[in-house]
Chains A and B, each alone.
Chain A
Amino acid sequence: MTSTTGSSTSGIDLDIWEIVIGLEVHAELATRTKLFSSATNLFGGEPNTNIDPLTLGLPGSLPVLNEHAVELAIRVGLALNCKVQRSVFARKNYFYPDLPKDYQISQ
């Protein structure tokens, strides 16, 4: 993160702007299986072992949300005194070779 103390850096007048900084924090969850599939959630294994039709993006496969992951998310939200709100999934579509379905399931 950058910090600003003066009213101007690199020629931008910061007095006319309100600075809002958002944080995207990622945490690895200790779930037995992956977020949307029943494939094992394990790191350091042989390539292409902890997979199933869904993780490969195969035609006909469907995502099933890991209930335990949702519970952990709600728990961290409550522990941090945050408001837990209803969340919906949306697709973020773009073509990229490491994205099997060519869309992300995002919130």
Chain B
Amino acid sequence: MTESSLRSAVDIAAAVRSGDISAVEVLEGHLARITESDAEIHAFNHVTDDAAREAARAVDAAVADGRDPGPLAGVPVALKDNLCTRGVPTTCSSRILEGWEPPYDATVVTRLAAAGAIAVGKTNMDEFAMGSSTENSAFGPTLNPHDTTRVPGGSSGGSSAAVAAGFASIALGSDTGGSIRQPAALCGVVGVKPTYGLVSRFGLIAFGSSLDQIGPFTTTVADAAAVCEVIGGHDAGDSTSIPQAFPSVSDHLDDGVEGLRVGIITEMMGDGIAPDVLARTRAAAEALAAAGAKVDEVSVPAVTFGLSAYYLVAPAEASSNLARYDGVRYGLRVDAPTTTEMMEATRTAGFGDEVKRRIMLGTYALSAGYYDAFYGKALKVRTLIRRDFDAAYEDFDVLLSPTSPTTAFEVGAKVDDPLTMYLNDVCTIPTNLAGHAAISVPYGTGDDGLPVGVQVLAPALGEVVMFRVARALEAGLK
């Protein structure tokens, strides 16, 4: 068995567990591709090759000794740089955290290591996960492996590019308004935003606490299921963690879609969505119908207000969550005569434009006299979105839409126009506002030959059916 023939985590783990290939050999193949191509792609902020080699040798030793090396034995994983890793720089691609090394691991990092996965490095992102192209990184943009004149999407663009380029078999990202699903779509890989509370946020550096959720990037739906089952499930370290295991999605992947009711969201099939993306989404719906699903259109009216509500709720939470970067204890400090002036100088120098924009938006939305008109109103819209989704799920098991309005756009095309950039997440944001689950599955290419992703949405804890439909789409493509 050769390293280059192995891409999927399920295949790698099976081969490593059975002794057909060593974890070290798998790792060296991935590290070689990083060395060869990442100077151009820039998926990584930091590659942990020495620690990875040590971890891979430990997996091989376990196999040799007849001990269980774990369900993800020897699987190289890339970690978004907002996940805390003990003794390894964790920057959120921000100057304000440059060089900071957490003294602890995020729960998902601990669980991946316990499952035998090999962390190869920390991936580039839009600063503090604010963006849709990974151009807002303080350390320079990540490029799309399919076409290096294009963006990989964002904010988890380093993670999606790492998987698309074969630098890692799997990656973790975080999704606050689409930051896993949109880059997955633009890089032609699978991306999952699980139900809010199914994956512990302990050790994830907060952006919008009521919206943030960790999830995987993979090359197959089965890999995504396997990773979710490892990283998910209750964690006492996160009070919003749901007290149950991640649903057993792997066992039901191939149950098929016969009789399932699939609703195409009317509001996401019109203005602002590119014709080639619409065509691929309709083709996905037809494939599901051909496989036995009952497919129809359904209106979810309140989702049209999702973007507006999101850009009050998320910045409001961010303005509070990002207050701690004040230069007092860790990260950047710009000295000044008084403490207040030091904090101001540090935050002025340490945050990029988009982060400052959202801190100001959020602080304004929460300020006395404006709270009810802005933040309070946005929370009401959030309730309406959840209500409209609930109504749709009375008649449908899952919903279907494009993931992103377009295929990958050119580097520099939208970076100076925040509103145009925000529109990238118009189809993904409502899921976060509702706390529901969604997955982006690659479904062919657009007119420019670049990947198109189709989104399958499910109600809270609807992962089993969501993964079945995703698997059926993937199988139908082959």
CB interface residues, B 330-365, toward A, < 8 Å: 330, 339-340, 343
With A63-B239, A64-B236, A93-B320 given, is the CB distance from A57 to B329 under 8 Å? Answer: yes
Tell whether, in the assembled complex, residue B97 and residue A59 are in contact, meaning their CB atoms are under 8 Å apart: yes
**Residues of chain B with a CB closer than 8 A to A63's CB:** 239
- Checking A62, A97, A101 against B323 with a beta-carbon cut-off of 8 angstroms, the contacting residue is A101
CB interface residues, B 262-278, toward A, < 8 Å: none
How many A residues, CB 8 Å from partner? 19
With A64-B239, A65-B239 given, is the CB distance from A97 to B84 under 8 Å? Answer: no
Q: How many angstroms from the CA of A64 to the CA of B204 in the assembled complex?
A: 15
Closest Cβ of chain B: how far from A13's Cβ, in Å? 30
Closest Cβ of chain B: how far from A63's Cβ, in Å? 7
How many B residues, CB 8 Å from partner? 33
A86 touches B (CB below 8 Å): no
**Residues of chain A with a CB closer than 8 A to B92's CB:** 59
A53 touches B (CB below 8 Å): yes
A58's nearest neighbour on chain B, judged by CB, is B102
Q: How many angstroms from the CA of A60 to the CA of B366 in the assembled complex?
A: 23
Tell whether, in the assembled complex, residue A58 and residue B323 are in contact, meaning their CB atoms are under 8 Å apart: no
Q: How many angstroms from the CA of A56 to the CA of B203 in the assembled complex?
A: 14
- Checking B84, B239, B319, B328 against A59 with a beta-carbon cut-off of 8 angstroms, the contacting residue is B84
CB interface residues, B 193-220, toward A, < 8 Å: 201-206
Q: How many angstroms from the CA of A101 to the CA of B97 in the assembled complex?
A: 15
- Checking A57, A62, A91, A95 against B201 with a beta-carbon cut-off of 8 angstroms, the contacting residue is A62
Closest Cβ of chain A: how far from B386's Cβ, in Å? 19
Majority SS of interface residues in chain A? loop
Tell whether, in the assembled complex, residue B320 and residue A60 are in contact, meaning their CB atoms are under 8 Å apart: no
Closest Cβ of chain A: how far from B311's Cβ, in Å? 19
B127 touches A (CB below 8 Å): no
Q: How many angstroms from the CA of A62 to the CA of B214 in the assembled complex?
A: 15
B331's nearest neighbour on chain A, judged by CB, is A59
**Residues of chain B with a CB closer than 8 A to A65's CB:** 239
Closest Cβ of chain B: how far from A92's Cβ, in Å? 10
**Residues of chain B with a CB closer than 8 A to A91's CB:** 320
Tell whether, in the assembled complex, residue B203 and residue A60 are in contact, meaning their CB atoms are under 8 Å apart: yes
A102's nearest neighbour on chain B, judged by CB, is B323
Q: How many angstroms from the CA of A93 to the CA of B90 in the assembled complex?
A: 25
Tell whether, in the assembled complex, residue A64 and residue B237 are in contact, meaning their CB atoms are under 8 Å apart: yes
B135 touches A (CB below 8 Å): no
Contact mask for chain A residues 93-105; partner B; CB cutoff 8 A; 1 contact, 0 none:
1010100111100
Tell whether, in the assembled complex, residue A59 and residue B236 are in contact, meaning their CB atoms are under 8 Å apart: no
Contact mask for chain A residues 62-73; partner B; CB cutoff 8 A; 1 contact, 0 none:
111100000000
**Residues of chain A with a CB closer than 8 A to B239's CB:** 62-65
B395 touches A (CB below 8 Å): no
Interface residues of A (CB under 8 A from B): 53, 56-65, 91, 93, 95, 97, 100-103
Interface residues of B (CB under 8 A from A): 82-84, 90, 92, 97, 100, 102-104, 106, 201-206, 236-239, 319-320, 323-324, 326, 328-330, 339-340, 343, 366
Ordered by A's residue number, 22 sampled pairs between the chains whose C-beta atoms are within 8 Å are A53-B103, A57-B324, A57-B329, A58-B84, A58-B104, A59-B92, A59-B206, A60-B82, A60-B84, A60-B204, A60-B205, A61-B202, A61-B203, A62-B238, A62-B239, A65-B239, A91-B320, A93-B366, A95-B323, A97-B326, A100-B328, A100-B329
